[in-house]
Structure 1
Amino acid sequence: MHLPPARGFSTFRVIYCSEVTAITYHNISQAGTYNRTVIVDPSTGICGHERVDYPSTGPLAPLFGEVSMHLRGPMTISQLAVYQLPAEVHTLRKRNTVPFYNSRRALKPQETTKMTHSTIPDWLSFFNKRTYNTTASCTPTTVTSTVTVTTDCSTASITEPVQNTTYVGPPLPCLPTPASTPSANSSSHSPNCTCENLPPIAESSDGQPFIIATPAPVLDASLVSKRDDAADWSRVAYYTSTAPAQATGISFLANLGDPQKSGTFDYAFGNSLSYVTPNGDTVASESLPFNGKIDTSEHEIIVFSDKECDADCPYWRPNATSHYGWSGSSKAFFIEFQMDHHNNTNTDQGLISDAPAYWFLNADIPRILQYGSDRNDIPCSCWSTGCGEFDAFEVLGTGEERAKSTLHRQGNLEGGDSNYFVRPIGQTMKFAVVWRYPDITVMVLDDGYVFGENLTDSQVQSLVAYDANSWVHSLFAIGN
C-alpha cells in the first residue's frame, strides 16, 4: 500500500523468501547528507531547509539521533518498553517529566519573536542567533549511493550491495549556512555548490540575523567507541494496557491536530501532531491513557517520550504538540502485540484496512510533517532526502500474513531483507528492535520474555548474536 511513500509504507518490490525469527541489518552506519527542515510557513505553504552533512556516528546520523515509534492498525498492544544505555539517555534525564495524565501542558507555549523581514512570518519561534545567509544558484554534484533489495531467495542470507548506483532523490541544494566557523554540532556547507549570497533571512531589533532552527540535542559521537559495554541498559519508558492502563516515560500522539484542543491545523499542511483519546482516533486536549487497540489501518499512533519539546529540541512545526524521541546508537524497543484481521466494511472509501505495521522514523519527520509536500513540490520533511526510516514489522498488502522489514535512507545505503516474520493472529507476539552499533536487529522473543527494569549488555548480546548456521536468523549487509 502506498500513501505518500512509506513514512510507514515501503516502496521496494516485495519478494518473500523464508520465515525467520530474527533479521540483523549489518553495518548500517555510513556518512551522508540530507535536508533538515528549518522553516514551516502555513501562510504560504512553503518550507525552508538546511543541508546536513552527517558522519557515520553521532546525533545527526539517520536513526542514531532521535526516533519516534509508529503503530498502525489493526493492532492490539499489550506492552511497550524502551531501553537505553545510561550514557545515551542523559539528554532526557536532564528534563522535567510531563505527567502521563497531565491536566495542562507542563511547559509554556513557544515564545514568538517578531521578524522585521517582510517575507518571514511572525509566528516562527525559538530563533537561535547566528550569522546565516540565504543561498541561491546552486549546482549540486551527483551523490553516489547503493540501494539493496534481495531478489533471489536461493542466494545466501548475506546480500551484497549493488555498487555505484546513482542517487535518484531530489537535488540537495545549497541552503542557509553560517558565515562564522560552524560548531561541531552544526551542519556544514557543501563545498561543491557555487552560491550567491543574499541578504540575511531576518533581523532582530539589534540588527543580528537569525537562523530558523535550534541545534539537535548534543550526543557525543565518541559515545559509540567509549560506551561501557558492561553497563546495564535502563528501561526509560514502559506501557501496559492491562486495566488500568499505565505508562511511564511515554506519550501517545497522532496526526490529528486541532487548535481548539491540541496541535494545529492549516490548509497548507493539514493536521499536526496532537494528543489522542484512548481509542487513538480522535484528538484530545491533554495526554490520556491509550487503551491499546487500533482498529484499522486508517489509524496510526505515534509514540514519543513523555518529555515535551523545549528550546533544546530540534525545530518543530509551529503550534504542533511536540515531544522528544529516543536518541543514541544503542537503544532497544520491545513490544507485545497482536495483529488480527480487520474485515473491510466499505467504510474506508477504498483504502487498505488490514495492513498493520510497526516502524520508526527520524523524530523530525512527524514533528514537522509526516505526510505531504510544500507548494514547490519540495517535500517539507527530511524523509525524501534520507534522514531515516526503519520498518521493523510491516504488512504490505491487505490481508497479508507475512511482515517485512526495510531500512529507508534515500541517497545512502538502504534496503530490505526478503525473509519475513509471521503476523501474530489470534495470539500475542513479543518482539524486539535493538540498535547496537553498528547493527539493527529485529527478532521474535519467547512468550515468557519479561520486559524488566534493566537489561545487562550480556543479555542484549545474547539476543542479537548471529549464528551463521542458523536457518531462522538472517543477516542482511547494508554496508561492507
Structure 2
Amino acid sequence: MITKSLFSSLCFLAVAFQQVYADGCSMQNGYYYCNQASEVEFTNVGFSSSYERVTSMNPETCECTRTPQSFGGALAPFDEELSFHFRGPVQLKRFAVYYPDSNNALSSLKKRSNHKHGKTSSNENGELKKRDEPAQSTRTVYETILQTAYINPDGSPATSTSDAAAASSTTSNSAASTTSAQGSLLASGFSYAGPNEKANLAATSFITSSTSAPATSSSSAPASTSSSSSSGSSDWVRSSYYDSKSSTSDNIVFLNNMGGTAGSGVWSSCFGNSISFAASNGVDGASSPQVLSDTMLKSDKEISIWSSSKCEGDDCGYYLPGIPAYHGFSGTKVVLMEFSMPHDDSTSFINDMPAIWALNAQVPRTLQYGKSECSCWNTGCGEFDIFEVLNSGNEKMIPTLHSQQGSQNGAGGGAGSSDYFVRPTGSSMIGAVVFDTSSSTVYVIDVTNKGVNFDSTYSSSDVAGWLEAGSTVLQLS
C-alpha cells in the first residue's frame, strides 16, 4: 500500500518527470532508464535500526514468531551473512568470493572514495564547477531519499518545485555541467523476498538530483589489467570458487527451493518447499551437495550460492528444522561472477526476466517465498538486487539496495539506479561487487575488459584499478 506521504511525493514527481525527458532519460514499461553505466556506487550505506528476526516456525499451525534484532555500523545490515541468488535465463560460468588478508586491502578503496565523492559547488557566476575530480572523468551523482526533494546547483534545498525548475533552466545551458531535479520510480515487492515482479510493485525510492559534467568518457580510456601475478601481493585472498567449465567447486554449496522432493530439505502445507541441495542441472533437488554443471537456467528457475560451512548450534540463529543450513558470506568482501543472460522463449510466470541478487541469509533459511511473518525480509533485514532485468525481454539491468535506510515509515527505503548495465545476451560479462566497510560503500562494476581472471589472490591496487573514473553514485540518506 502506498502511504499518504509517499502518495504526496508521487504527485510532485509529475513535475520532475518532465525534466527527465529533457535530460535524455526515457520511460520503458513503467521504469525510467538514463545512462549506460560501467560502475554504480552506493555510498553512506549502513545505519542503526532493528528488524524482526524469526525465532520459531510451526508447520502444523502455520504460525511463526519473531523478535527484534538490532544492527548498526558500516554497510549494516548488508554486513551480515548474504546468500547469492541467480534466476534464469542465466548461465553462470564462474563465481568467487575474496576476503581482505592485509591492512592494505581497503586502503586504496578508501582513498579513492574520499577523493571521488566531493559534491559539486558553484562559483561566483553561479556556474557549476567540479571539485577534486580528475579532468578526464564523467560522473553522475544521485541523492536518494523517500520524499521528493529539489536541490539547487549549490547543493542547497530549493523551497518549491518552481524554484527547482528555474534552477534547472538556469544551469541547463551552462557549458560546465547540467543539474536537474529528476524522479525515478523504483519497485519493491512486499510479499516475498526476491527480485521484483511486475504484478507486485510499490514505489520505495527515487532519484531526486543528478549532477554530471561533460568530459571525456571514461569508457574511452585503456582498460587496466588486473592480475595477482603482476602485483605480487595478496591483499585479497579467494575463499570460495566455482568454474563451470572444469566443474571445479571450492567452499561453495549450491541450493535451490525443492525441499522435500529429492532427499534434502522439507515440505509442509504451511511453508511449501524449503531450500534444498540443487542437482547438477540446477533445477531438481538432490540428497547431497552437487556441483552445478555448465548449463543455462531457464526463466523462473533459481539457484543460490552459499559457503560450505555448515550451521552449527546457534551460530546461524534460528532456521527451519530439516533444511541444509549453511553459512553465507559476511562483512568486507569482493564477489566476482561471470555470467550470460541469453533470451529464452519461456512462457513461465516470470519469463525472460533474469536477475542476480543477494539476500540476508536468514531469509532463505526460514522462508523465502510465502508468509511475510515467517521471514525478516519485510522488516528490512536486507536484499541487494545486483543485476536485475525488470521487464520480460529487456536488455537493461539495474542495481537496487532494499533496506529501511532512507525510509520514513520503516518500510521500503534503500536506493536504486536509473543508470543501467547492458544485459549480456551473447558473450558473458564479468561483474564485481565490492562490499567496503572502510568507506561504507558498495561498488557494482563491469570488469569484463579489465583482465580479471578469478586469480587466487589480488593486490589492493588490482582491485582499486577496477574502479571507474566516471561512475554513477547513489548516496543513501
Match for residue 363 of structure 2?
A: 365
Tell me by how many angstroms 1:257 deviates.
0.2
Residues 322-471 of structure 1 mapped to structure 2, 5 A cutoff: 322-328=325-331, 330-344=332-346, 346=347, 348=348, 351-373=349-371, 378-410=372-404, 411=410, 413-437=413-437, 438-447=440-449, 448-464=451-467, 467=469, 470=470
In the TM superposition, residue 360 of structure 1 has moved relative to its aligned partner by 0.5
| Kept in 2: contact 1:158–1:477 (CA 8 A) | no
Amino acid in structure 2 at the alignment position of 1:381: S
1:55: Cα distance to partner? 1.7
Which amino acid in the other structure matches residue 316 of structure 2?
A: C
- Report the Cα offset of residue 49 of structure 1: 0.4
For the Cα contact (< 8 Å) 1:72–1:294, is it kept in 2? no
Deviations 1:369-409 (A, max 9, x none): 11110xxxx52100000000111100011100000110001
Q: CA deviation at 1:231?
A: 6.9
Deviations 1:261-304 (A, max 9, x none): 00000000001110011111111001111014243221000100
Aligned-partner Cα distance in 1 for 2:345–2:93: 22
User: CA shift at 1:85, angstroms?
Assistant: 1.8
Residue correspondence of structure 1 range 16-95 to structure 2 within 5 A: 16-57=33-74, 61-86=76-101
Distance 2:190 2:427 in 1: 41
How far has the Cα of 1:454 moved from its partner?
1.1
Q: Is residue 102–residue 236 contact of structure 2 (8 Å, CA) maintained in 1?
A: no
Distance in 2 of aligned mates of 1:294 and 1:275: 18
- After superposition, residues 72-471 of structure 1 pair within 5 angstroms as 72-86=87-101, 146-147=145-146, 232-243=235-246, 245-258=247-260, 261-311=263-313, 312-328=315-331, 330-344=332-346, 346=347, 348=348, 351-373=349-371, 378-410=372-404, 411=410, 413-437=413-437, 438-447=440-449, 448-464=451-467, 467=469, 470=470
Task: Say which SS state the counterpart of residue 374 (structure 2) adopts.
Answer: coil
**How far, CA to CA, are the matches of 1:45 and 1:394 in structure 2?**
32
Query: Is 2:333–2:435's contact at 8 Å kept on the other side of the alignment?
Result: yes
**8 A contact 2:280–2:293 mirrored in 1:** yes
CA contact (8 A) 2:261 2:285 kept: no
Partner deviation per Cα, 1:123-147 (whole Å, 9 max, x = no partner): xxxxxxxxxxxxxxxxxxxxxx943
Q: Which runs of 4+ in 1 moved over 4 A?
A: 148-162
CA contact (8 A) 2:65 2:373 kept: no
Aligned residues: 331
Deviations 1:194-249 (A, max 9, x none): xxxxxxxxxxxxxxxxxxxxxxxxxxxxxxxxxxxx97111000000114x11001
Q: Deviations over 1:88-132 (max 9, x none)?
A: 9xxxxxxxxxxxxxxxxxxxxxxxxxxxxxxxxxxxxxxxxxxxx
CA contact (8 A) 1:77 1:292 kept: yes
CA distance, structure 2, for counterparts of residue 358 and residue 269 of structure 1: 24
Residue identity opposite 1:306 in structure 2: S
What's the CA shift string for 1:63-94, capped at 9, x where partnerless? 10100000011111111111112489xxxxxx
SS at 1:432 equivalent: strand
Q: CA RMSD in A?
A: 3.2
CA change 1:148–1:18 in 2 (3 A) is: farther
SS in 1 for 2:373: coil
Conserved? CA contact 2:66–2:373, under 8 Å: no
Contact 1:275 1:321 in 2 (8 A): yes
- Where 2:33 maps in the other structure, the secondary structure is coil
Q: Which has the higher helix share?
A: 2
| Per-residue deviation, 1:446 | 3.2
Letter in 2 for 1:14: Y
State the TM-score, normalizing by the size of structure 2.
Answer: 0.64
1:156 offset after TM fit, Å? 7.0
1:158–1:56 CA distance, 2 compared to 1 (3 A): farther
Q: Cα 1:240–1:156, aligned 2, differ >3 Å: closer, same or farther?
A: farther
1:363 partner amino acid: A
CA 440–402 in structure 1, closer or farther in 2 if over 3 Å, else same: same
Whole-Å Cα distance in 1 between the matches of residues 93 and 297 of structure 2? 14
For the residues of structure 2 that align with 1:360 and 1:34, how far apart are their CA atoms? 17
Q: Following TM superposition, by how much is the alpha carbon of 1:18 offset from its aligned partner in structure 2, in angstroms? A: 0.8
| Equivalent residue letter for 1:275 | F
Call closer, same or farther: CA 1:299–1:363 in 2, change over 3 Å.
same
Contact 2:249 2:291 in 1 (8 A): yes
CA contact (8 A) 2:88 2:296 kept: yes
Deviation per CA, 1:155-189: give whole Å up to 9, x if none. 97999999xxxxx999xxxxxxxxxxxxxxxxxxx
Give the percent of matched residue pairs that are identical in Structure 1 and Structure 2.
Answer: 34
1-side partners of 2:179 and 2:458: how far apart? 29
TM normalised by structure 1 equals: 0.64
SS in 2 for 1:461: helix
Which residue identity does 1:68 align to in structure 2? S
Distance 2:179 2:305 in 1: 32
Stretches of structure 2 that go unaligned for 5 or more consecutive residues are 1-28, 104-143, 151-164, 192-232, 405-409
Determine the C-alpha separation between the residues in 2 that align with 1:420 and 1:372: 30
**Structure 2: distance between partners of 1:45 and 1:415:** 33
Structure 2 SS opposite 1:365: helix
Taking the aligned partners of 2:424 and 2:240, their CA distance within structure 1 comes to: 24
Structure 2: distance between partners of 1:316 and 1:460? 35
Paired letter, 2:475: A
**Per-residue CA shift, 1:315-345, capped at 9, x if unaligned?**
11111111100111x111101111100013x
The aligned amino acid for 1:369 is L
